[in-house]
Structure 1
Amino acid sequence: MNEPAWHTSTYTDGRGGNCVEVAEGPMTRIRDTKNRDLGHLDVPAEEWTAVVTALRG
């Protein structure tokens, strides 16, 4: 299995402290950059889109 393409979320605070990374696809993966070894959350892409839309609201 290939490693997903992780990138820093555009909603990260930009100060190097509270960073979230996402890997988008049919299942969006979300993880804390400070605790990558603790795993990630898998969220269906439609739900991730709903979260991003709500944050932009």
Structure 2
Amino acid sequence: MEPRWRTSSHSAKYNCVQCTTGLWSGGHGNHTIAIRDSQNPDLGRIHTPAHEWIRFLAAIRHDEL
């Protein structure tokens, strides 16, 4: 089953990334987030643990980057 991809409402017309949740990694019950370029979705994906993605988004929201 292909994951459902989400595009941020803050993305520009040609400058978008997409992410998907609900992926599992390693059989340890760890959620993984996949990230890809919305204009070139077949070029690959970056996978990161969900807790790291949440920390990254929080840093953006609080202008810590």
Q: Same fold (TM over 0.5)?
A: yes
Q: Are 1:23 and 2:10 counterparts?
A: no
User: Counterpart of 2:43 in structure 1: which amino acid?
Assistant: L
Q: Which residue of 1 aligns with 2:28?
A: none
Q: Which structure carries more helix by proportion?
A: 1
Aligned-residue sequence identity (percent) comes to 41
Gaps of 5+ in 2: 23-30
Q: Which structure carries more strand by proportion?
A: 2
**Alignment coverage as a number of residue pairs:** 54
Cα RMSD after superposing both structures = 1.2
> What TM-score, normalized by structure 2, do the two folds share?
0.75
Choose 1 or 2 for highest CA Rg: 2
Large movers: runs of 4+ above 3 Å = none
Q: Are 1:32 and 2:37 counterparts?
A: yes
Gaps of 5+ in 1: none
